[in-house]
Chains A and B, each alone.
Chain A
């Protein structure tokens, strides 16, 4: 059979394809639907958080930081409760990372504050002596792209039915409002002002008051949300 295949490239290629293709089918397809289910209480990201998540991706924070706490005592002691599948239901893409040059961040919102993050991203060694993480000062000047964040939120709402503008827990209130871009932007600016004030940096507060959200503020809003 093999010597026949080696003289018939078409069937050879078909054979190879069949042999390599079905592992993916068997491993990925069976649990696909079940793994898409959100855990109770999981909510989509608000506009500002999503903009911050885009900053996290743009600067490849995931090159050094994981967002996956494994079920070992040494990890739950250090980072908190181990990660659950349903917590990631609105993560597109997933940001588990593959290398911890720095610590895990999946629940960093539980034990770091906005001003800690601002100081840390401005000069990491000022809060963590010996840190090898570089400063990310450009995030303090760059303006977060709320429009692209809105485009992403609207896309996942339309295409994947991510529950924006919906009452998730049955209390009669919308949990994560999105609405029009103007509405969403106003809400993001209010939220950003609160975060900027928490950082205790006047330059950030001033920028937000001018209607521009610095990337660092969006990023901190995202990090605070990781709990």
Chain B
């Protein structure tokens, strides 16, 4: 409150918040649908070939990662950026225009890219499925975001960069580097003048392609699902709770530690594959080391609540954020365990992996974005949050959903992994492959139900947000810490 004269402009932050809600519902709706397809295969045919599992799965992952999560990241950037730099977007017509252009290009680009996947345009590389014309659009979107970040930093009043900014900058740089190198591809039409103009062929072949892909794939997780989410929690948790960050030194250690260690860990996706053994071992070892900076950030956040745990009872937004940190700890312990070679031999290729991904994405990423957007809502509209009760219900419903999700996938994954290797008394394989599929039916069903709970929670969130925007009680001035809520 050093400079109460600054009127922050939340236009772009609001737009991206709407988009986060929209893409969250679409992406996770598809997720729930394909989860049930595995339990009840007839569901594959509801929309002909367009609803086949294999067609929808990449759309699910891309919509959630690059629709829901990126929208959340951009929404919070356009909010947090101004506030920690003590400068308003309204002060620069240029940055305002860049922000708006960033939004529209992103929105249109996202729709086109998803449409292209539905029409079977895919490079097959996970989280990098978009064909080359869409890759170019992605690069443009990213450049616009970069201009926005460094432009705002350029006109800042607060000279020292707050911790959240470190993470936003790292997100920008990390994704730029990874995306560019992994999507190096040669458009076949440009070389030969024949065939489909959208088609391209990877610059890397075989094992090299796999190494580049998982260097990217793992670190797309790092720089989309981890780094920017830490940026958020370092701002929103202290702000909502009114507590200072527990330790500056711990945040330093965690930040630089995370930057240094994360990139090495990609090799854990390729254990027992044909990549060099030393690289597999590096992937394994660095994954275990990664516990340190990950838990550093998470503990720093939990300790920020020291002496103020009463807020956990009173404030559902604090609940969301504290549980997000906790899921982050769970997920960053589980990942390294799966990276140990002997565990990986069992876990790789099974449902334990999607289980791991989802306790991170639903628990950590999803909860943090939900909390961030609900924290911003009263500041956007100068109204109190419409219903605390609804927020509480959403929290418990979604938490139950996540627990159902990961526990069923743990059981499914370990069951399947054990069955694949089981032998009878003569040393012959005990089960045919299909035995190891049919046994999973109850767990697939349970997982679908867990996902459905989370999905219903999204509608409660959207409704609460909408009512806050339109029908909630007005507040006179912007709340400084805890967000005001109607019962």
Task: Say whether A27 contacts B211, CB under 8 Å.
Answer: yes
Task: Say whether A20 contacts B259, CB under 8 Å.
Answer: yes
What's the minimum C-beta distance from B338 to chain A, rounded to whole angstroms?
Answer: 12
Given A95, A101, A148, which contacts B188 in the complex, CB threshold below 8 Å?
A148
Query: Count of A-B contacts with CB under 8 A?
Result: 241
The closest CB in chain A to the CB of B216 belongs to A24
Given B38, B160, B209, which contacts A101 in the complex, CB threshold below 8 Å?
B38
Task: Say whether A155 contacts B201, CB under 8 Å.
Answer: yes
Task: Say whether A28 contacts B150, CB under 8 Å.
Answer: no
Interface string of A23-37 (1 = CB under 8 A from B): 110011001100110
Indicate if B177 sits at the interface (CB-CB under 8 A): yes
Given A28, A103, A150, which contacts B211 in the complex, CB threshold below 8 Å?
A28
Interface string of B220-253 (1 = CB under 8 A from A): 0000000000000000000000000000000010
Within 8 A of B (CB), among A44-72: 54, 57-64, 66, 68, 70-72
Indicate if A138 sits at the interface (CB-CB under 8 A): yes
Indicate if A77 sits at the interface (CB-CB under 8 A): yes
Specify which chain A residues have a CB less than 8 angstroms from the CB of B55 in the assembled complex: 59-60
Specify which chain A residues have a CB less than 8 angstroms from the CB of B423 in the assembled complex: 74
What CA separation (Å) do A138 and B48 show in the bound complex? 9
Specify which chain A residues have a CB less than 8 angstroms from the CB of B45 in the assembled complex: 134-135
Task: Say whether B209 contacts A94, CB under 8 Å.
Answer: yes
Name A residues whose Cβ lies closer than 8 Å to a Cβ of B.
2-3, 6-7, 9, 12-13, 16-17, 19-21, 23-24, 27-28, 31-32, 35-36, 54, 57-64, 66, 68, 70-72, 74-75, 77-78, 83-85, 87-103, 128-138, 145, 147-152, 154-156, 158-160, 181
Task: Say whether A131 contacts B169, CB under 8 Å.
Answer: no
Given B188, B207, B279, which contacts A152 in the complex, CB threshold below 8 Å?
B188
What CA separation (Å) do A57 and B189 show in the bound complex? 18
Specify which chain A residues have a CB less than 8 angstroms from the CB of B425 in the assembled complex: none
Task: Say whether A93 contacts B349, CB under 8 Å.
Answer: no
The closest CB in chain A to the CB of B58 belongs to A60
Specify which chain B residues have a CB less than 8 angstroms from the CB of A27 in the assembled complex: 211, 215, 264, 266-267, 279, 282
Specify which chain B residues have a CB less than 8 angstroms from the CB of A137 in the assembled complex: 49
Specify which chain A residues have a CB less than 8 angstroms from the CB of B188 in the assembled complex: 148, 151-152, 154-155
Given B169, B196, B211, which contacts A13 in the complex, CB threshold below 8 Å?
B169
The closest CB in chain B to the CB of A54 belongs to B199
What CA separation (Å) do A68 and B177 show in the bound complex? 28
Given A63, A87, A158, which contacts B191 in the complex, CB threshold below 8 Å?
A158
The closest CB in chain A to the CB of B117 belongs to A60
Task: Say whether B181 contacts A160, CB under 8 Å.
Answer: no
Name B residues whose Cβ lies closer than 8 Å to a Cβ of A.
37-38, 41, 44-45, 48-49, 52-55, 57-58, 120-126, 150, 153, 159-161, 166, 169-170, 173-174, 177, 181, 186, 188-189, 191-192, 194-196, 199, 201-202, 204-213, 215, 252, 256, 259-260, 262-264, 266-267, 269, 272-276, 279, 282, 345, 348-351, 353-354, 420-421, 423, 428-429, 433-434, 437-438
Task: Say whether B124 contacts A9, CB under 8 Å.
Answer: no
Specify which chain B residues have a CB less than 8 angstroms from the CB of A84 in the assembled complex: 274
What CA separation (Å) do A36 and B186 show in the bound complex? 17
Task: Say whether B122 contacts A60, CB under 8 Å.
Answer: yes
Task: Say whether A19 contacts B161, CB under 8 Å.
Answer: no
Task: Say whether A16 contacts B169, CB under 8 Å.
Answer: yes
What's the minimum C-beta distance from A88 to chain B, rounded to whole angstroms?
Answer: 3
Task: Say whether A132 contacts B41, CB under 8 Å.
Answer: yes
Task: Say whether A151 contacts B191, CB under 8 Å.
Answer: yes
The closest CB in chain A to the CB of B262 belongs to A20
Specify which chain A residues have a CB less than 8 angstroms from the CB of B121 in the assembled complex: 58
Specify which chain A residues have a CB less than 8 angstroms from the CB of B428 in the assembled complex: 77
Given A3, A20, A97, A158, which contacts B170 in the complex, CB threshold below 8 Å?
A20
The closest CB in chain A to the CB of B273 belongs to A68
What CA separation (Å) do A125 and B38 show in the bound complex? 14
